[in-house]
Amino acid sequence: MPPNPQKLAKWEREIDRIRWQVVRLLDRRRWNEIYERVVNAHPKLHPGIPILDHFRNVYGDYAVVAVRRLAKPGRDSVSLTDIIRDLGGEAENLDRAWYRSLYKRPLFERDGLQRQYGL
């Protein structure tokens, strides 16, 4: 028996939200790498300047929180853990066609992000 259409729609919405969270994380990583190259190439900027450390820490903190949000089960966030658990409970009812439909136009190819992030 196929899963209920509302459940399928919910999973697709949640998977899309997680994809965008990953895209944002990749975007911030890319900007952090650019920032590091600029700082490292500037002869007057040297390690230990508090503002430089602050920006490095902001990115690090953001990345940790983003990953934690994806892993954290709960009602207040869309969690990869929750989706996997929910899908696992319906595994015998999911068919290959539904799974493949998720990847007909992958996010990175669809939005030209594959080249931008080197994926």
| CA–centroid distance for 87 within its chain | 19
**118 has a pLDDT exceeding 60:** no
Give Cα separations from 4 to 80, 81, 91, 103 (angstroms).
Answer: 20, 20, 13, 20
Which pTM was predicted? 0.66
Question: CA-CA distance, 119 to 104, in Å (whole number)?
Answer: 17
For residues 11 and 99, the answer to whether their CB atoms sit within 8 Å is no
pLDDT interval class at 117 (50, 70, 90): low
pLDDT digits over 48-94, tens only? 778 778 888 888 888 888 888 877 776 767 788 888 888 888 878 78
